[in-house]
Structure 1
Amino acid sequence: MPFMDQILYTLLYTLVVIASTSLSISANDDDLKGITLVSSMFVTDRSFNIAAYAIMIILAVLYVTFW
């Protein structure tokens, strides 16, 4: 069996499994083992935001310089 055909069959099988799992669970079900997500969990400090932005600028300059 050619490699690309095998990948296609695997993709289709995976999509069927994901769709059937998704459809078998109600949207209103709460999982007792699930983690409760709150928007405050994703808030970062101002210093972290500035450092992350500075790192992105440095990486962009390095990328453009060595392209």
Structure 2
Amino acid sequence: MDDIELYIEYTAKVIEAAGIISIIVGTVLALGKFVFSLQKGGQRSYRLLRQELGKGILLGLEILVAGDIIATV
């Protein structure tokens, strides 16, 4: 039984790490798209930046919640 608890804990940690990585990657991609579109002379609005950033954060938070649920089981 101790082995199963250990595997569940490791699985939860890996999923939580994936959630953190997802937030970081989503943030970098959203900011990168915003900055490069400004350099090309395109009209990128702050609203679109917030939407894209929100998508990355939301995905990461959903993955973090899944990790928390697994850890509490």
TM-score under structure 2 length normalisation: 0.34
Relative contact order, higher structure (CA 8 A, sep 6+): 2
Which one has the largest radius of gyration?
A: 1
Higher helix share: 2
